[in-house]
Structure 1
Amino acid sequence: MMRRTLLAAAAALSITVPAWAAPEPGHEAMLAHRGAYRLSLDTARDTSSVTQARGVMLFEVVDACDSWAARQRFSLVLTDRDGNTVETSSDYSTLEAKDGSALRFSLTQMTEGAVTSRVSGEARATPEGGRVRYADPTPREDALPQGTLFPMIHTIRALAAARAGQRILAVPLFDGTSADGAQDTTTVMTGPWQEAQASTAFPALSSQGSVRMRIAFFDRTPDAQAGAGTPDYEVSLRYYANGVADELKMDFGDFVVNGTLGELEAVPSPC
């Protein structure tokens, strides 16, 4: 049912890709899949009031033939020093052309069940940078910086860089999670490419090489050097060659959350 729902949503978003557009090299290695992650507190900084964190993250990516349809649902319950709890959640979905030329996006964030923000719209990437048209929170259009990548293309290129022995990939990234446009990102390979190792927990990963990387996101400002200063957000993860991550560390500034893959299911292609 969830797969049909996501495919129906992808059809409704309906990205138009020119017939001559070639998919990004490496797209064929990406695994359409559904993954469930357990979330727990890793560390909290001295300035943070957070003492506990627990939750789940569900991630699904479906092959929509000329595009990738993805959905991420995130729920986290935080507990402070006084024992108070607050639940935050988000529902984020994208449809991204396989040639990296177009992205449709929608994000709804909630606290204690009440909607706190919405971001939605569509973006186009061109050699000059491209443009994004927001529908929410307010209709407007912004330019994207030259070299901007969308999420799936960024994953594919980061994996290609790691396999080629490249240690750093620094590019602007637009994922539609903010109304502030693209962010500068610096991806650092924190270890060498590892050849495939048998995975008894997840057979789909047994034949896949992997690499550990850390991705830092920086807000863009007119006078800031790309990748300089304190990241707005960081995520460390182990990516397999098929685009599946089984271990995550999400650094939100005041605290860090672990994400551990608990369930993994391949999603057959309808194409």
Structure 2
Amino acid sequence: MSLSGGAQEADNRASAAGLAPHKALYEIKLVGAKSGSQIVNISGQMFYDWKPSCEAWISNHRFDLLYEYADSPAMRLKSDFSTYEAFDGTDMHFTSQRKRDGQLFEEVRGHAMLNADAGGGNAEYSIPEGVKYDIPPGGVFPMGHTLGLLEQIKKNAKFYNATIFDGSDNEGPININAFIGKPVDRFADVKNMENVDKALLDSPAREVQLAFFPLDNDSATSDYEMDLVFHENGVISSMLVRYEDFTVTQTLKALEPLEAEQCAQE
């Protein structure tokens, strides 16, 4: 039985997709709030890691945020969100927890499947029990969306629309419009950062704007929007997130590569 061969196979999955397994730390800051909003400050961190395992793409997001208000006590929100997405894009396990001042107030866990012919699929939650959603034809999971966006970038396309199910909450699938902008300086935001592995940023980068819409709503107004500096190896070096009442930045503070899991092979 060989372990190293399995690790090489997992590495090959990432290389074939042009992606770099990595972990990253982002600093989150409030940069603007709507007049009349009670929010006076938001600060914290987001930790992200992504890598191929023996059978699937694994991603983890962890947020630790302090919300400060004008007329009420500050509140600390922590959230953990993980996905385990099969390489062929047809199967995904997901889990999410959110805590307010240390108290769990939302938990999600479940399994989603897509037909191999892009004919849609379904998601079923074990927590909360009984929640189910249909995923429309053409729908994708998070890694499927990333790979689809990369494909459009390499074609020099300017727009990419997709329906995505990510399992981060119990709201079901959403529509995402991606507007692909001009190439940018891949090192612009991180030139003097000691904790950032510059080799991971040595990949072509584009400005990308994402607009997120609920699936069952025909409104022309998005729920929120995100401006990214998106590298073709899957690394994001800068984010600006615009919600209805406030805007935050997510600035890259640390970045390093991850090794593929050791997989047993006969």
Tell me, yes or no, whether TM beats 0.5.
yes
Distance 1:197 1:92, change over 3 A: closer
Match of 1:184 among 175, 179, 188: 175
User: Relative contact order (C-alpha < 8 Å, sep 6+): which is higher?
Assistant: 2
Match of 2:249 among 234, 258, 262: 258
Distance 1:251 1:24, change over 3 A: farther
TM-score of the superposition, structure 2-length normalised? 0.84
TM-score of the superposition, structure 1-length normalised? 0.83
Preserved contact between residue 14 and residue 21 of structure 2 (Cα < 8 Å)? no
1:215 equivalent in structure 2? 210
Distance 1:141 1:258, change over 3 A: same
For residues 27-106 of structure 1, the aligned pairs below 5 Å read 28-82=17-71, 84-106=73-95
For 2:252, the aligned partner's letter is L
Aligned-partner Cα distance in 2 for 1:193–1:152: 22
> What secondary structure is seen at the aligned counterpart in 1 of 2:152?
helix
For residues 1-271 of structure 1, the aligned pairs below 5 Å read 28-82=17-71, 84-126=73-115, 127-189=118-180, 191-194=181-184, 200=191, 201=193, 202-221=197-216, 224-225=217-218, 228-270=219-261
Distance 1:105 1:206, change over 3 A: closer
Distance 1:257 1:194, change over 3 A: closer
- % identical aligned pairs: 26
Q: Deviation digits for residues 77-130 of structure 1, max 9, x if unmatched?
A: 011124731111100011011221111100111111111111110111112101
For 1:34, the aligned partner's letter is K
Aligned-partner Cα distance in 1 for 2:14–2:22: 19
> What secondary structure is seen at the aligned counterpart in 1 of 2:182?
coil
> What secondary structure is seen at the aligned counterpart in 2 of 1:160?
helix
Aligned-partner Cα distance in 1 for 2:13–2:114: 13
Aligned-partner Cα distance in 1 for 2:241–2:48: 15
Distance 1:30 1:101, change over 3 A: same
Preserved contact between residue 184 and residue 205 of structure 2 (Cα < 8 Å)? yes
- Moved >6 Å (runs of 4+): 23-26
1:19 equivalent in structure 2? none
Runs of 5+ in structure 1 lacking a partner? 1-22
RMSD, aligned α-carbons: 2.2
